[in-house]
């Protein structure tokens, strides 16, 4: 039972890979095909497509990481010294803020208005920092109530999950900072816009990760 | 043609000018590959020396025992971890992956050269941290390469204070390095293949490396997760893996954790890790066999499917390392079944290698000798895996020397033979010089026969029930003197094999200095890396224009062709039939 | 050509080696349990894999001979991308072979997982680095236990309030007896780290995991004494974690069982009386001195600073001839005679308690060696004896700080030569025999003793606290 989340992830990952391979016509006989026609890719090695491929591969790695943690969580939960944690209610508020960050970065990539673009870009960063600060405040609340990292495994996992999630957001914020700097100084704006496109995917992904983690924490 | 060959754009390709940017902070995949390779081999030599100390202790306990029990367990641990992670994984993916991927797919470099460079420096950092553990108080960890808690972080195991911490940190850094490299390899193969190079036209080397990289990307997080949680258990006093226990007479503060959980996480990484090493070896050996037998690889499609299926299955067999771990015994049914199923695609690969030789035109050059040697040792190691995978047979054999013999045969000797074969095979490409064939043949024979002399008898110690990870055996009534004698013989062979590896280094150095200049394509191979305009390939690999690909990677001895091979970038002959 | 010949020779040689190995003792030990099905599954696997090994390798060797390049007049290779029919057949053929091995494997595993109802249960407790056993006693039921209850007087952590635990038999000698032909289920429990209970003749093994109870079962079918080995790396002295299991006839087993102490009996041992011990000590004082200060000239070590449990254990061993009966152990033989004068265990306890009342005395350092090198070697010794040499009851390791180097040196030499520790019942002596071998040279010996002489002679606080809690010392 405990292994269910990681197995679910692995089956999904393998299924997607196999489906993708299927579409790459891996049943064809390559020795009877000659010429270059057999290739339908648009670009070779560069541009948004390449960056996106790398990003999605990275997201698969991160998903694996969190799926494994969740599996460990389920396993550990079964053991008898587990005492569930009462999550601080401020997490609801934080969740809302992270959603706003996601919305603003999405908006950013959909607008053609330069001012809106800049405003939404800034808003993304502000909301994200706000979320992280909110998470930290939730930690302080727990510390004040006497719940520390090593108090109970449920606490350990809570701190671990939130810390790892925030760490991933910091990684995103680093890219965001570079892109914002470029947009405002108008250097390499094209490159910056590509980064923002990637940020959108990344922020949505981390929002989903947080929602899953939050739901998990609430339900157990 | 509607393609924009992105990497052809000149400004992305600022050529390095100073010595430092060319050879140290280089972003050229070939230089990075050599950096990776040399570091991996250097650290591998350290691990080899450690094993020599262990064998001296086991084989000549009365005369040559020069290490203490602490050191013995520390060397066992470091030998295992270095060989599996820091040598084999790094060499196959960081070394061969880096060198071969862009060349074989007709790209100018990896898609993210800077990240590629960072990957190497992080790898080097992880090696430095690992080596540093030899010099900290208490020395490196002696918990075995599996690092099982609770013992890994409790007093009573060597290096339980500093050693284990450095090991976990080093692994963490290695995983970062691997992820940066791995994302690069996957993206490069998927996005930067040259015109006409469909997936099914890829050489099997690339298939092996690609699949192994994907496995690594998904499996290494499991190691990271367990490393993070163990570090917290160790430093902060959490209880992820630590149950209530009395260590050395003292009740510990931990409560309720599960050591078996760690084992699940570890082997969720650990088993795919076996294939992270094996799949590139499978791929590379397929290409070597095909080139030197002048024959297409037999059943190319089946070979690709087998690699992909093995890759998928490798994620659901992990608990076969844990049959006697005290986990829920009902898991045994599932994992024994999946484990034995994985034998089917693996067997097909073996058949196809052998059938590639059948009706070939076999040139027994040095790389070919290593490849055939690989088939032999891999069959041996694969078949003994069926003993251990079949859950009840694991009961008597688990934790004995049978296990040691099995995994050294299947993922020690076999991949190393492929590595040597590959190094000899691509030596003319990497260096532009030919190696000394006589010396190479000596190296093969002494290594191959020597290894068999080590590991065949070792299985029989396992049948007898001689346990692994024992510093000394005196006082065990059931072990007869003849078994101790066998241990001496094994040690002799092991030390011999260790010394024989000098032949390889002598060969490399001699050939670099005095070897004759090699042809650009000395073996008459079809794949793209042999078709570069310069030999060795210059920065950017392809001169002005990227090669186009018109055929699969195995057009050897095609009836009616002028030569016995047609390079992949040879356009169709006029009137040549094109079928779809 | 050479390759092919060598491969054929390797195949033939491997088979020859295989057939030849049993006569040299490189083969499974004769089975002493009912698990003939495991051996059968193994045989099937041997036949299937053996066939594949021979067939594929010989085919490969043949292919290499037949299709090797012979220069100019060589035939070109055949262009044959694939042969789906052949590949399909090979797949089917392999699948059948795999199924032939897997099916019996799963069947027998099912037997292993399901313990028969008529099996009796006993407990195996592993700890660094020895085995302890618990038999259920008359009520055929084991009492509950918990890690937090473990102490010197309750080494298994048995719940003293559980009525089922009272008559449990505690076997703390490392040697356990079981009756023949009765299926037995071993409940495996660990005090500290992972261990693995393995007896080669029984064919089955299983890890001991702290925090849970694992199990294995078998029916012993042959009387005899068998080695129990720990087969999961459990720390530094893993390789010395040995034990014995004796398969007895039912009568012998019952006789043995009736001699063992129940948990209730171990709890009821009266406290030692140092005043009674004072009278008994008179005979010791001739050599060891009035207040246990020792006498080099008489080869008598000082006794001050030693824990009572260690003194008790050694006196017990001398009395039984477990220590000191080796013909080369002249001073040990004297002690055997002297210890024989202590009539029973309670006399031993009393005199030991008296000895621990002596104030600690300084000891002379005679040995000169390289202290730094000695410190490196000490990491091995310190694991059991404590990094400060303070001694540890948990590993049954005496205090070494403040010990006299001439005495320790002689003991180490005796351990190395098997003059001390070789007796079958001296399990801690056995461990020291294995460990002392790491001191290869005169220099090793001097260096480590030089370091030992530098150790602080005061007992560190926490160890003292433990000792006080247990009321065994001072």
Task: Kindly tell me if the per-residue pLDDT of A62 is higher than 60.
Answer: yes
- Distance from C-alpha of B55 to C-alpha of B488, rounded to nearest angstrom: 8
Taking CB atoms and an 8 Å cutoff, what residues of chain A touch C82?
29
What number is the average pLDDT over the span C96-110? Answer: 95
Taking residues B303-311, report their average pLDDT: 95
- Pair C28, C71: CB distance under 8 Å: no
**What is the predicted pLDDT for the residue at B19?**
76
Q: Which residue of B has its CA nearest to A49?
A: B191
Helix (H, G, I), strand (E, B), or coil: what is residue C141?
coil
Give the closest-approach CA distance of C63 to chain B in angstroms. Answer: 5
Q: Is the dihedral of CA B63, B69, B73, B79 positive or negative?
A: negative
| DSSP reduced 3-state for C198 | strand
User: Pairing relation of β-strands C120-127 and C130-135?
Assistant: antiparallel
Nearest CA in chain A to B302: A27
pLDDT-derived band of residue A39, with 50, 70 and 90 as boundaries? low
Mean pLDDT of C42-52: 95
Report residue C400 as tokens. Answer: 């070494």
The first and second tokens of residue B415, run together, are: 């991949």
- Tell me which of B156, B345, B387 to substitute to probe the interface with C (most C C-beta atoms closer than 10 Å): B156
pLDDT of residue C473: 38
What DSSP designation does C295 have? B
Yes or no, beta carbons of B245 and C191 under 8 Å apart: yes
CB pairs under 8 A between A and C: 3
Q: Which chains touch B (3 or more CB pairs under 8 A)?
A: A, C
Q: What is the mean pLDDT of residues B402-425?
A: 96
CB–CB contact A68 B222 (8 Å): yes
With beta carbons under 8 A apart, name residues in chain A contacting C81.
Answer: 29, 31
Of A21, A38, A57, the CB nearest to B196: A38
Looking at chain C, the whole-number percentage of residues with pLDDT higher than 90 is 56
C17 contacts on B by Cβ (under 8 Å): 456-457, 460
By the CB < 8 Å criterion, does C392 face chain B? Answer: yes
Cβ–Cβ gap B65/C440 under 8 Å = yes
For residue A151, the distance in angstroms to the closest alpha carbon of chain C comes to: 18
Residue A40: which pLDDT band, with cuts at 50, 70 and 90? low
Please, which pLDDT band fits residue B53 given cuts at 50, 70 and 90?
very high
Among chain C residues, the shortest Cα distance to A79 is held by: C211
Sign of CA dihedral B558, B563, B569, B571: negative
> Can you give the pLDDT at residue B347?
96
Task: Indicate yes or no: CB of B464 within 8 angstroms of CB of C236.
Answer: no
Residue pair C385/C391 in contact by the 8 Å Cβ criterion = yes
For residues B148 and B200, is the Cβ–Cβ distance under 8 A? no
DSSP B32-80: HHHHHHHHHHHHHHHHHHHHHHHHHHHH-TTTT--S-HHHHHHHHHHHH
Q: Environment class of residue B442 by beta-carbon count within 10 Å: exposed (0-12), middle (13-18) or buried (19+)?
A: middle
pLDDT score for B46: 97
Cβ-nearest to B300 among C82, C101, C207: C82
* pLDDT higher than 80, residue B574: no
Which one, of C125, C108, C116, lies nearest residue C182 by Cα? C116
pLDDT at B43 over 80: yes
State yes or no: ipTM above 0.90. Answer: yes
A70: closest CA of chain C, how far (Å): 22
Q: Is A38–B232 a contact, with Cβ atoms under 8 angstroms apart?
A: no
Q: B237 and A53 in contact by Cβ < 8 A?
A: no
Give the model's pLDDT for residue A42.
Answer: 58
Kindly state the tokens that stand for C52: 């594949």
Give yes or no for a contact between A88 and A142, defined as CB atoms under 8 angstroms apart. Answer: yes
| Interface touch B465/C29, C-beta < 8 Å | yes
Q: What is the pLDDT of residue A37?
A: 55
Sorted by sequence, the CB contacts under 8 Å of residue B97 that are 6+ apart come out as B33, B181, B185, B209, B213, B280
Quote the mean pLDDT of chain B: 92
Residue C32 sits at the chain B interface (C-beta within 8 Å): no
CA distance B563 to chain A (A): 17
Q: What 8-state DSSP symbol labels residue C344?
A: S
Report, as an integer, the average pLDDT of B182-187.
Answer: 95
Residue-wise pLDDT tens digits, C262-317: 998 888 888 888 888 888 898 898 899 888 888 888 889 989 888 889 999 999 99
Average pLDDT over residues B401-412: 95
Residue B342: which H helix or E strand, with range? Answer: helix B331-357
**pLDDT > 70 in chain C, percent:** 96
By Cβ distance, the residue of C26, C63, C392 closest to B464 is: C26
d(Cα B509, Cα B498) in Å, to the nearest integer?
A: 18
Contact B523, B289 (CB under 8 A): no
Q: Predicted confidence band at A60 (pLDDT cuts at 50, 70, 90)? A: very high
Indicate whether A82 pLDDT > 90.
no
Q: Are the beta carbons of B193 and A18 separated by less than 8 Å?
A: no
Q: What are phi and psi of C182, to 5 degrees?
A: -110, 125
Look up tokens 């959909």; give the residue: A110
What is the SS3 assignment for B116? helix
d(CA B178, CA B88): 13
Which among A32, A43, A50 has CB closest to B579? A32
In the predicted model, is pLDDT for residue C118 greater than 70? yes
Q: Give the up-direction half-sphere exposure of residue B380: CA atoms within 13 A in the CB hemisphere.
A: 31
End-to-end CA distance of chain C: 81
* pTM for this entry: 0.94
Tell me, what's the pLDDT at A214? 94
Domains of chain A: 1-80 (no CATH), 88-220 (1.20.120.80)
Which chain B positions have a beta carbon within 8 Å of C152's beta carbon?
Answer: 249
Asked whether the beta carbons of C30 and C224 are under 8 A apart, the reply is no
Cβ neighbours of B473 in C, within 8 Å: 239
pLDDT at B140: 95
- Could you tell me the domains of chain C? 2-69+81-113 (no CATH), 120-267 (2.60.40.420), 274-470 (1.10.760.10)
In the DSSP assignment, the letter for residue B15 is P
The rounded distance, in Å, linking the Cα atoms of C317 and C246 is 21
Q: Does C150 touch chain B (CB under 8 A)?
A: yes
Q: At C48, is the pLDDT very low, low, confident or very high (cuts 50, 70, 90)?
A: very high
Query: Who's near A63: CB < 8 A, 6+ residues apart?
Result: A9, A13, A209
Domain boundaries, chain B: 26-241+257-531
| pLDDT tens, residue by residue, C408-459 | 999 999 999 989 998 888 889 999 998 988 888 889 999 999 999 888 875 5
Residues C145-164, mean pLDDT to the nearest whole number: 86
Across the interface, do C87 and B302 touch by the CB < 8 Å criterion? yes
Alpha carbons B364 and B366: distance in angstroms, whole number:
7
The pLDDT, as a whole number, for residue B15 is 65
Residues of C within 8 A of A31 (CB-CB) are: 81
What are chain C's partners, defined as 3 or more CB pairs within 8 angstroms? A, B
Nearest Cα residue to C463 out of C387, C361, C402:
C387
* A162, B312, B353, C374, C399 from C460: Cα distances, Å: 41, 56, 66, 21, 11
Residue B10: its pLDDT value, please?
43
Cβ neighbours for C404, distance < 8 A, ≥ 6 positions apart: C294, C296, C301, C302, C363, C364
From chain B, the residues in CB contact with A12 under 8 A are none
> What confidence category does residue A43 fall into, taking pLDDT thresholds of 50, 70 and 90?
low
The mean-pLDDT minimum among B176-180, C135-139, C238-242 falls in C135-139
Q: What distance in Å separates residue B386's CA from the closest CA in chain C?
A: 8
Query: Does the beta carbon of A27 lie under 8 angstroms from any beta carbon of chain C?
Result: no
CA distance C282 to chain B (A): 34
Q: Which pLDDT value is given to residue A168?
A: 96
- Which of B6, B300, B301 faces A44 most closely, judged by CB atoms? B6
CATH code of B26-241+257-531, in short, is 1.20.210.10
């Amino acid at each position: 039972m405990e292994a269910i989340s990681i197995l679910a992830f692995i089956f999904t990952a393998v299924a997607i890979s196999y489906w993708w391979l299927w579409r790459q016509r891996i049943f064809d006989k390559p020795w009877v095909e000659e010429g270059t026609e057999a290739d339908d890719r648009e670009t070779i090695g560069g541009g948004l497509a390449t960056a996106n491929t790398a990003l999605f591969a990275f997201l698969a790695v991160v998903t694996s990481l969190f799926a494994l943690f969740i599996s460990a969580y389920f396993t550990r939960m079964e053991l008898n010294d587990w005492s569930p944690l009462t999550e601080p209610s401020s997490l609801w508020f934080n969740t809302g803020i992270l959603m706003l960050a996601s919305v603003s970065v999405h908006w950013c990539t959909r607008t053609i208005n330069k001012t809106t673009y800049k405003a939404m870009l800034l808003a993304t960063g502000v909301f994200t920092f706000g979320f992280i600060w909110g998470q930290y405040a939730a930690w302080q609340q727990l510390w004040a109530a006497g719940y520390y990292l090593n108090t109970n495994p449920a606490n350990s996992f809570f701190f671990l999950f939130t810390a790892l999630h925030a760490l991933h957001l910091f990684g995103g914020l680093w890219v965001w900072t570079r892109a914002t700097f470029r947009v405002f100084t108008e250097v390499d704006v094209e490159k910056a816009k590509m980064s923002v496109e990637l940020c959108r995917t990344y922020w949505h992904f981390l929002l989903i990760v947080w929602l899953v983690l939050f739901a998990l924490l609430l339900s157990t | 043609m509607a393609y924009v060959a992105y990497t052809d754009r000149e400004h992305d390709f600022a050529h390095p000018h100073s010595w430092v940017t060319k050879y140290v902070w280089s972003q050229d995949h070939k230089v990075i590959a050599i950096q990776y390779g040399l570091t991996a081999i250097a650290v591998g030599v350290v691990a080899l020396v450690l094993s020599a100390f262990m064998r001296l202790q086991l084989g000549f306990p009365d005369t040559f025992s020069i290490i203490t029990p602490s050191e013995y367990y520390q060397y066992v641990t470091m030998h295992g971890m270095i060989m599996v992670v820091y040598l084999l994984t790094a060499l196959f993916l960081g070394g061969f992956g880096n060198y071969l991927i862009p060349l074989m797919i007709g790209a100018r470099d990896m898609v993210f050269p800077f990240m590629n460079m960072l990957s190497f420096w992080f790898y080097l950092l992880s090696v430095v941290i690992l080596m540093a553990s030899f010099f900290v108080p208490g020395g490196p960890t002696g918990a075995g390469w599996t690092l099982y808690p609770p013992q890994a972080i409790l007093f009573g195991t060597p290096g339980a204070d500093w050693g284990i911490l450095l090991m976990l940190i080093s692994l963490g850094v290695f995983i970062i390095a691997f992820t940066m490299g791995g994302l690069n390899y996957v993206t490069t193969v998927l996005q930067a293949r040259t015109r006409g190079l469909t997936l099914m036209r890829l050489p099997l080397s690339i298939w092996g490396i690609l699949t192994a990289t994907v496995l690594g990307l998904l499996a290494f997080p499991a190691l990271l997760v367990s490393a993070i949680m163990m570090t917290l258990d160790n430093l902060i006093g959490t209880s992820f893996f630590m149950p209530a226990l009395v260590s050395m007479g003292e009740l510990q503060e931990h409560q309720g954790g599960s050591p078996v959980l760690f084992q699940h996480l570890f082997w969720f990484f650990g088993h795919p890790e076996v294939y992270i090493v094996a799949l590139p070896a499978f791929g590379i050996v397929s290409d070597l066999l095909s080139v030197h037998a002048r024959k297409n690889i037999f059943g190319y499609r089946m070979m690709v499917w087998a690699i992909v299926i093995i890759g998928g299955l490798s994620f659901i067999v992990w608990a076969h390392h844990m049959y006697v771990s005290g986990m829920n015994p009902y898991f045994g049914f599932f994992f024994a079944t999946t484990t034995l199923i994985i034998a089917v695609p693996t067997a097909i690969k073996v058949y196809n290698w052998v059938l590639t030789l059948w009706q070939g035109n076999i040139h027994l050059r040095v790389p070919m000798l290593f490849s055939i040697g690989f088939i032999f040792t891999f069959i041996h190691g694969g078949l003994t895996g069926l003993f251990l995978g079949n859950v009840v047979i694991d009961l008597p054999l688990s934790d004995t020397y049978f296990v040691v013999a099995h995994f050294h045969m299947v993922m020690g000797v076999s991949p190393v033979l492929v590595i040597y074969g590959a190094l000899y095979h691509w030596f003319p490409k990497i260096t532009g010089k030919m190696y000394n064939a006589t010396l190479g043949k000596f190296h093969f024979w002494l290594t191959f026969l020597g290894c068999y002399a080590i590991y065949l008898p070792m299985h029989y110690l396992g049948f007898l029930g001689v346990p692994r990870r024992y510093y000394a055996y005196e006082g065990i009534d059931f072990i007869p003197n003849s078994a101790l004698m066998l241990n001496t013989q094994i040690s002799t062979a092991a030390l011999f094999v260790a010394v024989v590896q000098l032949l390889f280094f002598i060969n490399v150095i001699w050939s670099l200095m005095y070897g004759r200049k090699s042809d650009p394509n000395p073996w008459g191979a079809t794949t793209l890396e042999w078709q570069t305009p310069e030999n060795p390939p210059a920065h950017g690999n392809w001169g002005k224009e990227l090669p186009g690909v018109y055929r699969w990677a195995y057009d050897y001895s095609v009836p009616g062709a002028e030569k016995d091979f047609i390079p992949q970038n040879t356009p169709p002959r006029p009137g040549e039939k094109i079928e779809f | 050509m050479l390759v092919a010949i060598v491969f054929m020779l390797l195949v033939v040689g491997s088979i020859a080696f295989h057939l030849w190995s049993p006569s040299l003792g490189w083969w499974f030990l004769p089975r002493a349990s009912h698990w003939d099905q495991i051996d059968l599954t193994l045989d099937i696997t041997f036949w299937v894999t053996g066939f594949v090994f021979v067939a594929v390798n010989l085919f490969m060797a043949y292919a290499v001979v037949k299709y090797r390049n012979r220069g100019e007049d060589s035939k070109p290779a055949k262009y044959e991308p694939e042969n789906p029919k052949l590949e399909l057949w090979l797949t089917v053929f392999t699948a059948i072979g795999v199924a032939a091995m897997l099916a019996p494997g799963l069947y027998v595993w099912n037997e292993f997982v399901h313990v028969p109802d008529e099996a009796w249960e006993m407990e195996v407790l592993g700890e660094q680095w020895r085995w302890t056993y618990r038999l259920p006693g008359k009520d055929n039921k084991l009492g509950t236990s918990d890690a937090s209850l473990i102490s010197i007087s309750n080494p298994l952590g048995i719940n003293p309030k559980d009525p089922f635990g009272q008559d449990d038999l505690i076997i703390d000698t490392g040697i356990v007896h079981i009756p023949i032909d009765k299926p037995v289920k071993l409940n495996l429990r660990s005090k500290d780290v992972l261990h693995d209970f393995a007896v080669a003749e029984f064919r089955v093994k299983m890890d001991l995991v702290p925090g849970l109870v694992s199990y294995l079962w078998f029916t012993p079918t042959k009387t005899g004494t068998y080695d129990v080995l720990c087969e999961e790396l459990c720390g530094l002295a893993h390789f010395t974690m040995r034990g014995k299991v004796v398969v007895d006839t039912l009568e012998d087993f019952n006789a043995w069982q009736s001699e063992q102490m129940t948990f209730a009996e171990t709890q009821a041992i009266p406290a030692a009386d140092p005043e009674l011990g004072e009278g008994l000590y008179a005979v010791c004082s001739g050599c060891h001195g009035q207040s246990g200060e020792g006498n080099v000239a008489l080869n008598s070590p000082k006794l001050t600073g030693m824990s009572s449990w260690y003194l008790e254990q050694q006196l017990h061993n001398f009395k039984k001839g477990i220590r000191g009966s080796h013909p080369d152990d002249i001073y040990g033989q004297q002690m055997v005679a002297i210890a024989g004068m202590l009539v029973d265990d309670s006399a031993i306890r009393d005199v030991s308690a008296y000895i621990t009342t002596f104030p600690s005395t300084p000891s002379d350092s005679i040995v000169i060696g390289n202290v730094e090198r000695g410190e490196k070697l000490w990491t091995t010794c310190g694991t059991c004896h404590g990094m400060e040499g303070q001694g540890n009851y948990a590993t049954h390791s005496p205090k070494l700080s403040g010990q006299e180097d001439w005495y320790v040196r002689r003991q180490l030499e005796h351990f190395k030569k098997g003059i001390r520790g070789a007796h079958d019942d001296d399990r801690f002596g056995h461990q020291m025999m294995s460990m002392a071998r790491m001191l290869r040279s005169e220099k090793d010996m001097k260096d480590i003793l030089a370091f030992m002489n530098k150790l602080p002679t005061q007992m560190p606080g926490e160890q003292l606290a433990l000792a006080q809690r247990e009321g065994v010392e001072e």
